[in-house]
Amino acid sequence: MTLLLRKLLRILAVLTIRKFQPGIIAVTGTVGKTSTKEAIYAILRSVRQVRASSANFNNELGLPLTILGDWNKIGQPIFFWPKVIISSCWQLLFGPAADGYPELLILEYAADRPGDIKYLLSIARPQIAVITAIGEIPVHVEFYASPEHVAREKARLVEVLPITGCAILNYDDELVYQMRERTRAHIITYGFGQGANVRISGLENRSEEIPVGHEQIWKPMGITFKLESGDNFIPIRLDGAFGKAQAYAMAAATAVGTIYGMNLITIAQASQYYQPPQHRFKVIPGIKGTFILDDSYNASPLSMAGALETVKSLKAKRKVGILGDMLELGEYTITAHEEAGRLAARVFDLLITVGSRSQLIAAAARKAGLDKKLIFSYDTASEAGVAAQTLIEKGDLILVKASRGIGLERVVEEIKYRTAVIV
Task: Output the 3-class SS for 387-421.
Answer: HHHHHCCCCEEEEEECCHHHCCHHHHHHHECCCCC
Residue 211 lies in a domain: yes
Please give the Cα distance from 37 to 55 (Å, whole number): 10
CA-nearest of 308, 197, 300, 176 to 254 is: 197
How does residue 95 score in pLDDT terms, banded at 50, 70 and 90?
confident
pLDDT exceeds 70 at position 420: no
| Same domain as 293, residue 212 | no
pLDDT in tens, 126-142: 999 999 999 999 988 99
Residue 423 lies in a domain: no
pLDDT in tens, 34-92: 999 999 999 999 999 999 998 779 999 999 999 999 888 887 778 899 999 999 999 99
| Same domain as 264, residue 288 | no
| Same domain as 113, residue 95 | yes
Residue 385: other Cβ atoms inside 10 A = 23
**Rg of the chain (C-alpha set):** 22
CA-nearest of 239, 261, 395 to 250 is: 239
Q: Which domain CATH number covers 176?
A: 3.40.1190.10
pLDDT exceeds 60 at position 3: yes
Predicted confidence at residue 419, as pLDDT, reads: 62
Whether 329 and 402 have beta carbons less than 8 Å apart is answered as: no
Q: Which of 273, 294, 310 is the last residue in one of the domains?
A: 273
Helix (DSSP H) and strand (DSSP E) numbers for the chain: 14, 15
| Same domain as 287, residue 268 | no
| Same domain as 109, residue 234 | yes
| Same domain as 315, residue 251 | no
Please give the Cα distance from 247 to 226 (Å, whole number): 9
Predicted confidence at residue 246, as pLDDT, reads: 96
pLDDT exceeds 60 at position 422: no
Mean pLDDT (whole number) for 209-218? 86
Mean pLDDT (whole number) for 386-414? 96
**H-state helical runs in 182-294:** 243-259, 264-270
Please give the Cα distance from 396 to 215 (Å, whole number): 13
| Same domain as 290, residue 225 | no
How does residue 97 score in pLDDT terms, banded at 50, 70 and 90?
low
| Same domain as 324, residue 294 | yes
Predicted confidence at residue 99, as pLDDT, reads: 65
**H-state helical runs in 197-278:** 243-259, 264-270
| Same domain as 306, residue 249 | no
Q: Which of 245, 273, 301 is the last residue in one of the domains?
A: 273
pLDDT exceeds 70 at position 252: yes
What are φ and ψ of residue 102, in 5° steps? -60, 145
Whether 295 and 279 have beta carbons less than 8 Å apart is answered as: yes
Residue 299: other Cβ atoms inside 10 A = 27
Distances (CA, A) of 229 to 39, 201, 252: 17, 11, 12
Mean pLDDT (whole number) for 269-285? 92
Instruction: Using DSSP bridges, classify how beta strands 128-131 and 166-170 pair: parallel, antiparallel or unpaired.
Output: parallel
Residue 44 lies in a domain: yes
Predicted confidence at residue 202, as pLDDT, reads: 97
Please give the Cα distance from 46 to 270 (Å, whole number): 7
Q: Which domain CATH number covers 318?
A: 3.90.190.20
The secondary element (H helix, E strand) that includes residue 226 is strand 215-229
Q: Angle at the Cα of 229 (from 227 to 232), degrees rounded to 5?
A: 85
Please give the Cα distance from 124 to 114 (Å, whole number): 18
Residue 422 lies in a domain: no
pLDDT exceeds 60 at position 17: yes
Please give the Cα distance from 218 to 318 (Å, whole number): 10
Instruction: Using DSSP bridges, classify how beta strands 128-131 and 23-28 pair: parallel, antiparallel or unpaired.
Output: parallel
Please give the Cα distance from 48 to 310 (Å, whole number): 33
Whether 147 and 137 have beta carbons less than 8 Å apart is answered as: yes
Whether 107 and 27 have beta carbons less than 8 Å apart is answered as: yes
Predicted confidence at residue 421, as pLDDT, reads: 46
| Same domain as 145, residue 50 | yes
Whether 123 and 10 have beta carbons less than 8 Å apart is answered as: yes
Mean pLDDT (the chain) is 94
| Same domain as 402, residue 322 | yes
Q: Angle at the Cα of 237 (from 212 to 247), degrees rounded to 5?
A: 110
Whether 86 and 71 have beta carbons less than 8 Å apart is answered as: no
Residue 85 lies in a domain: yes
Q: Which of 218, 248, 273 is the last residue in one of the domains?
A: 273
Residue 383 lies in a domain: yes
pLDDT exceeds 60 at position 205: yes
pLDDT exceeds 80 at position 240: yes
| Same domain as 172, residue 95 | yes
Residue 376 lies in a domain: yes
Please give the Cα distance from 129 to 419 (Å, whole number): 42
Please give the Cα distance from 351 to 353 (Å, whole number): 7
Tally the domains of the chain.
Answer: 2
pLDDT exceeds 70 at position 215: yes
Residue 194 lies in a domain: yes
| Domain housing 357 | 282-415
In single-letter form, the type of residue at position 299 comes to A
